Amino acid sequence: MPDVPRWIETRAMLRSPQVQVIGGRAVADGVVVRLFHGAMSVVSVVGRPPASAIAAALEGTSTMTPIIVQNDNADDVGRSLDELGQSPDGRAWRRERAILHALVSFPELLPLDDDASVRLLASDDALDHVPRGLRHELTHARAMTATAAACVDGVPVSFCYPCFTTESLWDVSIDTLEPYRRRGLAAHVVRFMIDHMRGHRLEPIWGALESNGSSLRLAARLGFTPVDGNVVFSRGPWAYLTGGYDG
């Protein structure tokens, strides 16, 4: 499995000591990679394993757990999910392509406003002002990896962290609280994180679903260009750090 954008999630999962690899009768046919540890909840299908292996990997996950697959096995995985049927709550699987971008050239940025700054999020930074779902994600993110924050009047309002890292790549996760968007904060916090991760010789990969126009536009503005892609199956709103979140 090469260290290239389409495999960033799967390769990162396989580096974790908590990863589970589930196969059928013949591993050569394909396997399901599952990382369900702490808040991380994600499944990836490699090759064409039987539907029973996919079912086993989904055991104990929630409707917010995504399945990452490749363009060449997406049809097979879709048929397997149809065979398994809907989840107990009746939610059907939805298929969507993710576009993966590499950084070509980051633009020059206008200076931040005087009330804004960018730094690493500290373990004791209060997040009570952050919406519940994002707060759950960030609480776990900063415990497992460096997380950058753009602050306004000292309050963290825009966040960037590497959800997945391989030997040479990291996956950009970025979110800005609604009242603070369109102020250039996201660009500055991404730039900060790029510089931080380059200290570890890691380059950024920006992934966005085809339906996420705002993320695609931001990627283009920040100098990222499409280079690869994979496919995500989901049953509604999803994220990687949803383990333990009860909605």
Contact 29, 48 (CB under 8 A): yes
- The candidate with the shortest Cα–Cα distance to 172, out of 5, 2, 3, 37, is 5
What does the domain layout of the chain look like in residue ranges?
A: 5-97, 116-229
pLDDT at residue number 85: 80
The contacts found for 172-181 with CB under 8 angstroms, 24 or more apart, are: 172/204, 172/205, 172/206, 172/207, 173/141, 174/215, 174/218, 175/134, 176/150, 177/129, 177/130, 177/131, 180/150, 180/152
- Which residues are registered as beta bridge partners of 94? 234
- The span from the CA of 180 to the CA of 157, in Å, is 7
pLDDT at residue number 91: 80
Q: For the domain 116-229, what is the CATH superfamily, name and number?
A: Gcn5-related N-acetyltransferase (GNAT) (3.40.630.30)
pLDDT at residue number 40: 80
pLDDT at residue number 204: 98
- The span from the CA of 63 to the CA of 107, in Å, is 38
- What is the Rg, in whole angstroms, of the alpha carbon atoms belonging to the chain? 18
State the chain's maximal CA–CA distance in angstroms: 62
List, for the chain, all residue ranges whose pLDDT scores fall below the cut of 70: 25-27, 86-89, 241-247
- The candidate with the shortest Cα–Cα distance to 229, out of 8, 33, 1, is 8
pLDDT at residue number 61: 85
pLDDT at residue number 88: 61
- pTM summary value: 0.91
The three-state secondary structure class of 20 is: strand
